[in-house]
A and B are shown apart, each in its own frame.
Chain A
Amino acid sequence: MVLSGMKRRDLLTLIGTVAGSAVMYQAATSLGLAAETTYKGPIKLDGNPKGASILILGAGVAGLVAAIELRKAGYKVQVLEYREKAGGRSWSLRGGDTYTELGGFKQTVGFDQGLYVNPGPWRIPYHHRAVLDYCHRYGVALEPFNQVNYNAYLHSAKAYGGKPQRFREIQADYHGHVAELLAKLTGQKALDGTVSKEDQEKLLESLRAWGGLDKNYAYAASLESSNLRGYDKAPGGGMDGAPVPSTPASLSDVMQGGLWRYLGMGLHDEFQSTIFQPVGGMDQFPTALAREVKDLIRFNTKVTEIHQDDHGVTVTYTDTVKGGAPQTAKADWCLCTIPLSVLSQIKLNVGPKMANAISAVPYEAAAKVGLQFKRRFWEQDEAIYGGISFTDLPIAMIGYPNSGYGSPGKGVLLGTYVFGAYAMEYTALPPEERIKRALAYGAQIHPQYAKEFDNGVAVGWHRVPWTLGCHASWTEESRAAHYQDLCQVDGRIALAGEHASYITGWQEGAVLSSLDAISRLHKRVVAA
């Protein structure tokens, strides 16, 4: 779309003034400015459900959002939850918590008060507007999650002699050499056929600024390059205040070292600033939602069968604490947010399309290890405040706490966050062996590990009793074959959760899928 004579934002302001914000939102979408989300603001379920009842299976983020909105819309709502508390995978482990994984391996978390690790989701991007809206509406305090920390490390056991490099050094050296090469090509007239003279001049100017090149367009030891990669001796005050530039690594060392592969993550739109975390742990988000509907949730409830007929839905369940004979709950409708890894094992009379879809989606393996240390040495010794160090060791990363900076007490790191083969290997180990692994690898980056380690907790997601896996693992092929069938309402049953979204593994996917599913269910109810 081409707009001449009037800037797009001017036009939006004009539309907003005369037509109200809903029109403005649609206009913004059609102009490509607001397409970063499909969230349309607080859901409006217009029309009277006339006393209709609904059973919501699962009190994770998808189920909680549905419970809040459907009760508000006039439904009789019951929620059945397998766990002893709400939140599902939006989960934080704190000191005093016990966690027993499948196989009976039990861990008691020894973290100090106020310290935690999020075994599941740990960040909320600024464009996950549905999650953020619910955070704002229900009073969940947020703070910045430092996705990119220029002073954190990039590390490979096979590069730079195994010595961790600061993110800023690798980025400056990578940019600097690319800028120098492009400036050289420009000087050699290699761009003359494709780039105009005027544009080449601007290009050279920008390469110098972006790459930290000196006046000869060289990326070399200089104040310009040190301003980006850091100095051997930083500018100071008084007699001895003059800076000493640092010396960049050579182009070949930068390329062969391979650490440039870690520079891009924070550029990806899922991880761009601003990105948040709830103050005090990710579970503060579902806890705030659950507060609104706590009277509706039945905990410790294991669903064993879901049956629908012309009149309603009957769910059979057992009480995992009290035991006893199977019981039933009935309603007119059912929203099922149980992960497919579990749902695929539950007797359920839906049509073959939905049934095939439910069985067609395997679950990704993932593992995290939280490590408490006696002091925050990464801050005290290395000036790393929050953010992430990346490595090719089988811990993949070290996540530093994004709060409590400068605290004199203990601190908790995320000492491993892996997917794929490494995650399966972690999961197959007893928890204490996972922690030993995380320590042995991490000590190659932070030698303080050996002396300062206090205690840890380790989660392999395929052993988490309430999900049997981390998140739905779709492929292009399985989406083409099954996604629509999974999301379609089948009789009186609709499914929701991150698995019924294109944002798998993120809470935003769970919320958007839930809002979409209850909107479609509600249309049926008021039309009936």
Chain B
Amino acid sequence: MTVTKIRALKAAGLTALLTALYTIAGTLPHAAHAQASDASSAAFASPRHFGQKDGAALYQAICQGCHMPDAKGATGAGTYPALAANANLETAGYPVAMVLHGQRAMPAIGEFLDDDQVAAVVNYVRTHFGNHYTDAVTVADVKAAR
């Protein structure tokens, strides 16, 4: 790791440092920890990459943290919008960009997902929770939006 890189990480603070603890090693801990009491061994697969493949599992592992299990969102000092019956999902490029790059309170999740996973979770949300958008997002769409 170069000095410049370390400085950049320092500037980015604690999170980057903790990330660096993994990345300095060069090899990332990737194996699923099968010992944990866990219905799905895809859960908690790696600090840098989600292990789930299908849209429902990805939604439950990531999206519902903020948008909630029923996709109706939540409100405190600010609001997490409902994804249920959400007209903004009509243009598929919008949720793809949000997942990849984040915005406001939403972190960029693209770095933790491959293109298949992004397509899977976007397609899941766009066809569930009262959404009925049938024009599926493709892996190529996601790749182009990165």
Residues of A within 8 A of B (CB): 82, 102-104, 156-158, 258, 261-262, 264-265, 268-270, 302-303, 338, 340-342, 344-346, 359, 362-366, 390, 392-394, 396, 418-422, 424-425, 427-428, 436-437, 440-441, 444, 460, 462-471, 473-476, 479, 502-506
Contacts and interface: CB of A to CB of B under 8 A. Distances in A.
B65 to A, nearest CB: 4
- 3 smallest beta-carbon distances between A and B, as pairs: A465-B76, A341-B105, A427-B65
Contacts of A473: 12, 15, 107
Given A396-B18, A440-B37, A340 B104 contact: yes
A341 B104 contact: yes
Contacts of B74: 102-104, 463
12 contacts: A103-B74, A342-B78, A362-B107, A365-B65, A390-B21, A419-B47, A420-B112, A421-B47, A421-B48, A469-B105, A473-B107, A474-B11
Contact of A471 (B13, B27, B61): B13
Contacts of A264: 21, 24
Contacts of B10: 268-270
B80 A425 contact: no
Contacts of A418: 47
A469 B36 contact: no
Nearest to B66: A462
Given A359-B104, A421-B49, A437 B76 contact: no
A505 B37 contact: no
B65 A463 contact: yes
Nearest to A361: B104
B13 to A, nearest CB: 4
A39 to B, nearest CB: 18
A260 B72 CA distance: 45
Nearest to A460: B65
A421 B21 contact: no
A436 B104 contact: no
Given A158-B29, A342-B77, A468 B18 contact: no
- Chain A interface, DSSP helix/strand/loop, else mixed: loop
Contacts of B12: 473-475, 504
Given A473-B15, A505-B14, A441 B36 contact: yes
Interface residues of B, number: 54
A270 B102 CA distance: 28
B140 interface: no
Interface string B3-35: 000001011111101110110110101010101
Given A463-B65, A463-B66, A476-B8, A345 B79 contact: yes
Contacts of A157: 31, 33, 35
A467 B78 CA distance: 8
B15 A364 contact: yes
B76 A425 contact: no
A261 to B, nearest CB: 4
Interface in B54-76: 60-66, 68-69, 74-76
B21 A363 contact: no
A366 B35 CA distance: 23
A60 B102 CA distance: 26
B145 interface: no
B105 A270 contact: no
A394 B33 contact: yes
B44 interface: yes
Given A261-B22, A362-B108, A420-B47, A341 B11 contact: no
Contact of A158 (B31, B68, B107): B31
Nearest to A341: B105
B50 interface: yes
